[in-house]
Amino acid sequence: MSEILGANGLPAGDNNAGGAAGDGDLIKDATIETFESDVLAASMTVPVIVDFWADWCQPCKQLGPVLERAVIAAGGKVQLVKIDIDKNQMLASQLRIQSIPTVYAFFQGRPVDGFQGAVPESEIKEFIERLTQAAGAAGTGQPNNQEQDYVAIGEAALEGGDVAAAAQLFAQGVQADPENLAAIAGLARCHLALGDKEQARQTLAMAPEDKHKDPALSGVVAALSLAEDNQDGDVGELQARLQSNPDDLDLRFELAGAQLGAGAMEEAMEQLLAIIERDREWNEEAARKKLLTVFEALGQGHPATLRGRRKLSSILFS
């Protein structure tokens, strides 16, 4: 994405006034030929929301009308540009669109926020409100932290599975503010996702040691600890052996470790819970201790963490 944003490689063209009738200035269809004028140039004045969609995508059809209503309701404070990825495959590839619907928001020529999937209307309204507030702050000379913009769109890219794009965005966030813990954590998570534990460790070292317990960093610190403590193993073989002897807690713990080494945290969580259910005190509560680290690595608000905590409570207090 940064290659397009950083250069004028896309030819400018005439605006294609698509979208809702009578709202051509607010909602339009764009192509690779008009992307520079419809998105980059237009975003120098107001935030431009870009909806990447396709005719065969049912969630896109759910999201599109909701986006359009919200943009119209904003009364000109934002614009909406719709891009059909089937008709603009090169542009989708350059912007590294991995799944749809994907929504990016641009302001002053660069991405500042985004999300994926057909999110509820309430979240879209909050999304637009954030954009208008940021644009208002920029217009009044109030601080508008560029590094936070990189983090927001980096999170969206990482959630969509585009680790390389996310890493680049987080790195730009760190460059803009070397003390931005969220950007450091995001970049470290990208390195972990790519299996580079050493680079993840070096990235975390950019933050002071006394900041490693900060909520912005603690999750990735825990994830790195799990990755380093658990070596990759043959998960399939261990599962087959465990199927023959499900009460072998040492073997089940070994399987959980192999799953953690492979990054399968939720699967490992189930094995650890199964150990605790069979023997709470096994191996000096090794399973419970490791499970708590998994919770921290995933994040306390993660759906799997919430499910795991409920099941753990059910086991412990049954």
Catalytic residue among 39, 46, 60, 95: 60
Give one DSSP letter per residue of 265-301, joined into a string: HHHHHHHHHHHHHH-TTHHHHHHHHHHHHHHHHH-TT
Question: Residue 6's pLDDT band (boundaries 50, 70, 90)?
Answer: very low
- Confidence at residue 71, expressed as pLDDT on a 0 to 100 scale: 94
**Most confident of the following: 94-98, 104-108, 281-285:** 281-285
Helix axes 249-261, 265-278, angle to 10 degrees: 160
Per-residue pLDDT band for 231 (boundaries 50, 70, 90) equals low
Task: Please tell me the distance from the alpha carbon of residue 154 to that of residue 92, in angstroms, as a whole number.
Answer: 17
Q: Which one of 26, 49, 57, 83 is the catalytic residue?
A: 57
Beta bridge partners of 27: 80
Is the pLDDT confidence value at 85 over 90?
A: yes
- Write down the pTM of the prediction: 0.53
Distance in angstroms (rounded) separating the CA atoms of residues 79 and 42:
9
Res. 262 pLDDT band, cuts 50 70 90: confident
What mean pLDDT value characterizes the chain? 83
Structure-model confidence comparison of residues 198 and 37, the more confident one = 198
Query: Which range has the worst mean pLDDT, 128-142, 202-216, 271-285, 296-310?
Result: 128-142
CA angle, 31 then 56 then 18, to 5°: 35
79-84 and 27-29: which strand pairing? parallel
Residue 288: pLDDT band (50, 70, 90) is very high
Q: Alpha helices of the chain — where are they, by DSSP H?
A: 2-5, 35, 58-73, 89-94, 121-139, 146-159, 163-176, 181-193, 197-204, 215-229, 235-244, 249-261, 265-278, 282-298, 303-316
Q: Is the pLDDT of residue 253 over 90?
A: yes
pLDDT at 155: 79
Which letter does DSSP use for residue 37 in this model? I
pLDDT in the model for residue 7? 30
Mean pLDDT of 273-278: 95
- In 3D, which of 27, 121, 135 has the Cα closest to residue 77? 135
Which pLDDT score, from 0 to 100, does residue 10 have? 33
Contacts of residue 112, defined as CB under 8 A and 6 or more positions apart, other chains included, come to: 47, 105, 106, 131, 134, 149, 152, 153
Least confident of 123-137, 177-191, 210-224: 123-137
Would residue 190 show up in a list of annotated catalytic residues for this protein? no
Pick the residue with more confidence: 292 or 212? 292
pLDDT number for residue 153:
74
User: What's the CA gap between 141 and 88, in Å, rounded?
Assistant: 37
pLDDT tens track for 112-159: 788 888 888 988 998 898 888 877 755 544 444 555 567 877 777 777
Give pLDDT, residue 141.
Answer: 42
Any catalytic annotation for residue 60? Answer: yes
Phi, psi of 13 (to 5 degrees): -155, 180
User: CA–CA distance from 82 to each of 26, 141, 183 (Å)?
Assistant: 11, 30, 29
pLDDT digits (tens, 9 = 90+) for 8-43: 333 333 333 334 334 557 899 999 888 888 888 888
